[in-house]
């Protein structure tokens, strides 16, 4: 097996990324840029592909902790550190778009941020984005942690936090550990209770985002608010 630096330039992952964009590369090719070197007659792409198989796919691989990543054949501490750093940079990039004082112009930005924050937990997490009267971000908070199939969300505590932040509007979000983003009847019932409780103190509920493995469902977009 030829090492990658012996491949034609137009076939090498790094050169293709620079000329065609990251979207042109497969999962294995992207990961190979962190693996960097092959092992025992295998290219870095082969090592990356084997790591994906061993982990059970891209999502499972990226959610592994650093020590487990480093233990994958051909990866090592440097590759693991690079991948974990890339994930953290992505989260910080999304967070920067929703920093305090930012005007929430695009609901898609909020969905992307909340999906990145909540996707992958093995238990339910209920979170809120608190906003002022101009829909500028006050803060994001993960308020409640539950189990694999639910989280207890007392409306009184949500109201208390909204008042503490002097919020005029909120966006709710929670994840489904099952990976399916479809809102449940319990989700609809809870959203109705929270909306009713917050309406008594003139705080608007702008959306409730349900986060799954590969997508997020918006109550606002579905006309469920």
* Residue bearing tokens 């936090």: 161
**How far is it, in rounded angstroms, from Cα 198 to Cα 200?**
5
Is 111 within 8 Å of 210 (Cβ atoms)?
Answer: no
Is 106 within 8 Å of 94 (Cβ atoms)?
Answer: no
Tokens encoding 134: 């101009």
Tokens encoding 100: 């305090």
Please count the residues of the chain: 225
Whole-model pTM? 0.67
The H-or-E segment that residue 172 falls in is strand 169-175
Residue 101 has, within 13 A of its CA and on its CB side, a CA count of 0
**How far is it, in rounded angstroms, from Cα 225 to Cα 216?**
16
Tokens encoding 115: 């999906």
Is 75 within 8 Å of 69 (Cβ atoms)?
Answer: yes
SS (HEC) of 83-112? HHHHHHHHHHHHHHHCCCCCECCCHHHHHH
Is 205 within 8 Å of 169 (Cβ atoms)?
Answer: yes
Tens-level pLDDT at each residue, the chain (225 residues): 667 777 888 888 889 999 999 899 999 999 999 998 887 778 889 999 999 999 999 888 988 899 999 999 889 999 999 999 998 888 777 766 666 667 676 778 788 888 888 887 888 999 999 999 998 889 899 899 887 666 788 999 999 999 999 999 999 999 998 888 999 999 999 999 999 999 999 999 999 999 998 789 999 999 998
Structural domains in the chain plus CATH codes = 4-89 (no CATH), 98-218 (3.40.140.10)
Tokens encoding 153: 């969300």
């Amino acid at each position: 097996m030829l090492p990658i630096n012996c491949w034609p330039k137009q076939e090498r992952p790094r050169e293709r990324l620079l000329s065609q964009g990251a979207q042109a590369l497969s999962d294995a090719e992207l990961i190979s840029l962190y693996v960097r070197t092959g092992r025992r007659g295998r290219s870095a792409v082969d090592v990356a592909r084997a790591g994906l198989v061993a982990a059970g796919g891209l999502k499972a691989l990226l959610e592994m902790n650093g020590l487990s990543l480093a233990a994958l054949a051909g990866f090592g501490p440097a590759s693991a550190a690079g991948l974990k750093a890339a994930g953290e940079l992505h989260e910080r990039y999304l967070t920067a778009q929703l920093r305090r004082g930012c005007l929430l112009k695009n609901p898609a930005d909020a969905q992307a941020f909340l999906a990145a924050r909540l996707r992958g937990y093995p238990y339910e997490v209920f979170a809120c984005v608190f906003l002022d009267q101009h829909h500028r971000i006050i803060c994001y908070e993960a308020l409640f942690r539950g189990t694999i199939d639910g989280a207890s969300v007392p409306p009184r505590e949500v109201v208390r936090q909204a008042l503490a932040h002097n919020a005029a509007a909120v966006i709710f979000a929670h994840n489904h550990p099952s990976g399916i983003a479809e809102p449940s009847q319990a989700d609809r019932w809870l959203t109705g209770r929270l909306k009713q409780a917050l309406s008594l103190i003139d705080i608007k509920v702008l959306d409730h985002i349900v986060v799954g493995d590969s997508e997020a469902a918006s109550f606002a977009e579905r006309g469920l608010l």
